[in-house]
Amino acid sequence: MKTGGGSTVFSIQQYVSLIALSSVATILFGIKLLVIGTYGNATPYWDQWDSETQLYGAFLGHQLGWDNFFTAHNEHRILCPRLLALSLLYGNGIWNPLLQMVVNAALHVGFIGFYAWLLLKVVGERFVWPIAGFSLVLGAVPYGWENTLAGFQSCFYLFLPASVGAIWLVSRADPFSLRWWGGVGLACGAFFCAASGGLVLAAVAAVGVLQRWLGIRTSRRELASFMALGVLFVVSVVCTPRIERHNTLQATTLLQFLDSFDGYSAWPIKATILGSLLRNAPAVFFSIWILRTKPAVNDRRWFLFTLAVWSVGQSMTMAHSRAVGFVPSRYMDMLAVDVLANFACLLCLAQAECPRTRWAMAAATAWVGIVLGSLGVSAHKRCPGELEHRRATALAQEVNTKNYVYTGDVSHLTDKPHLHVPYPWPEKLAAILDRPVVRAILPRNIGAPMAGTIAGRAPGDAGILAGHGPEVPAPLAPAWGTFDVAEMPQNTTFAVMFPEAHRGYCVEIPIAGKHDAPGISIEIEQNGMRRPLHAVGHGTDGWRIAIAKVRGSPFTVHVVDTNPDAWVAVGSPVAVGRWDDRVDRLLSRWYVFVVIGAVVAVAGATLASLALAEPGSYSPSV
């Protein structure tokens, strides 16, 4: 098995690690799809209504400039999230926050796999299954549901890989080398995801100065690189906007700051000094060990040490800027990075050159039990209620927003319970929804109905507006049918034209009545060609949905009704994006990813056991 200086041994270890981490990412992706499909909603939420609509409006109005990307959003300059959002709009044609959520989920689980792989490079390949198992348990709990269920939160899922990647590259790079510049570029990218991205530069510079003080780094070139990183950090601080109205969220006293810091640094353990010390005990002991042993600059353990320094800086920043008395869900994905880093520190200590005593192993086991147990208790207490509340309020937001889009009556947005409108200022939301450029890209669940006109009808009143039977409710948008005002069915033919170009790759058309009865047919005509239109989707209250591919071009719906005992009606179409149906299929088939991930994990475990069964074929790499 061992050939070429041990290349086979290395490949087996790498294959097992790749399989294990791939299985974790796949299972976590399925779990996230389940959460999104169960509790998510395509109605844009909160910051999306001002930040994203301004970007999309400039793009669709051919007025896109640099200021649209670099202008401040609160304390942040979210260049990278804006680029991602605009790319998804361009590709899909229609705004779809569910698509954004799915992409965010892929980014997040990809980061978890990438991060775990980097940690394996530090602790050794033999710890692949503990790292994979801990990552799976830590990532499976939906504590970060605010990020999972909001398309706008891509900033966190772009910020994390950029920050961790920058630390990995710069912490062991030669000053001003290509690797060094790559890490600095990632750090700048992290800043353009979230304001605290600049802390990467500060953490790496601080560790570099510490290494120089310890005598590990001695060259002037290295000192110059630390100074350059420090200057870039100062520039990031200067470029960070100050929001006066957010001053009330900041810590104003030392005691308030310390209380807030305990909450962030102790999570998921209870927010106390003891909880903070307990959660970070592995990182503390690991840091002491590193400072005593003084490994070489290119030792990968410095990456883990720098991560610990960066994590402290992140917790201090959050404790100062958002001292709200509790840890918001949207910050927990970042704090999970700290928890996994502490677990890696624990594994490093477990294989350190020190006496292995029973009490040390018991302490390590107790730490894992306390952290994961606290996570489980907290999630069980908070997540079910918070998720149900999010689903209920999102459905109310969808109904109220759709009613306004269809009727123009602002009463659908005003005087509503808290969070029953997806934006805190109803009048401003109404003004945003009234903009033609916004109406053209609204998600399908609240999409503006297309304007249609009767192109031809025979005889008499056939194809009248609202020509549907009394057993179905009148839709908010115009509908045309073969049921007359005297409640007697007509034998007729009519056509409804939709002459305006639109951004939909497909359209959803509501259909009511016996559309599949003999003598009744519905066809869609485009570019001189007709094809049948079938109601295949599930609608509500007697209205079903037909989907037709129209590629953004004008079209006409033809209705033929020669059945004297039946009627049929068609409603106003709504635009559907290129990838909308694929997103719906992904969300409904979340279990496929869980099953595939489980099968891959079994395959990895089998490969590892077979390799271990042959002496010398699978040895740990350190």
The per-residue pLDDT for range 100-133, each reduced to its tens digit, is 999 999 999 999 999 999 999 999 888 999 999 9
Which pLDDT score, from 0 to 100, does residue 464 have? 63
Distance CA 278, CA 311 (A): 15
CA-to-CA dists, residue 147 to 48, 112, 234, 263, 539, angstroms: 13, 15, 29, 19, 29
Which pLDDT score, from 0 to 100, does residue 465 have? 64
Distance CA 71, CA 245 (A): 18
Which pLDDT score, from 0 to 100, does residue 613 have? 60
Which pLDDT score, from 0 to 100, does residue 375 have? 94
Q: What is the mean pLDDT of residues 414-437?
A: 93
Within 8 A by CB and 6+ apart from 98, the residues are 36, 40, 41, 42, 151, 443, 580, 583, 584, 587
Kindly report, residue by residue over 589-609, the tens digit of the pLDDT: 999 999 999 999 998 888 777
Q: Which of 143, 597, 164 is nearest to 372 (CA)?
A: 143
Lookup: tokens for 562: 């020669």
User: Which CATH number describes the domain made up of 453-582?
Assistant: 2.60.120
Asked which of 178-187, 435-444, 481-490 is least confident by mean pLDDT, the reply is 481-490
Q: How confident is the model at residue 9 (pLDDT cuts 50, 70, 90)?
A: very low
Hunting for tokens 């299954």 — which residue is that?
129
Q: What is the mean pLDDT of residues 256-277?
A: 91
Residue 524 forms beta bridges with which residues?
531, 557
Q: Does residue 620 have a cis peptide bond before it, meaning omega lies within 30 degrees of 0?
A: no
Distance CA 64, CA 87 (A): 13
| Choice between 606 and 616, residue whose per-residue pLDDT is larger | 606
Which pLDDT score, from 0 to 100, does residue 537 have? 61
Distance CA 524, CA 553 (A): 12
Within 8 A by CB and 6+ apart from 505, the residues are 92, 93, 94, 549, 550, 551, 552, 576, 577, 578, 580
Each domain of the chain, given as residue ranges in start order, spans: 1-39+589-622, 45-386, 453-582
Q: What is the mean pLDDT of residues 167-171?
A: 93
CA-to-CA dists, residue 433 to 49, 380, 385, 429, angstroms: 9, 38, 31, 6
Lookup: tokens for 269: 């353990």
What is the DSSP track for 221-251?
Answer: HHHHHHHHHHHHHHHHHHTS---GGGGGGS-
Beta strands per DSSP E along 339-399: none
Which pLDDT score, from 0 to 100, does residue 439 have? 94
Strand order in the sheet with 529-532: 453-458, 492-498, 555-561, 520-526, 529-532
Q: What is the mean pLDDT of residues 598-621?
A: 69
Q: Which of 172, 167, 206, 207 is nearest to 187 (CA)?
A: 167
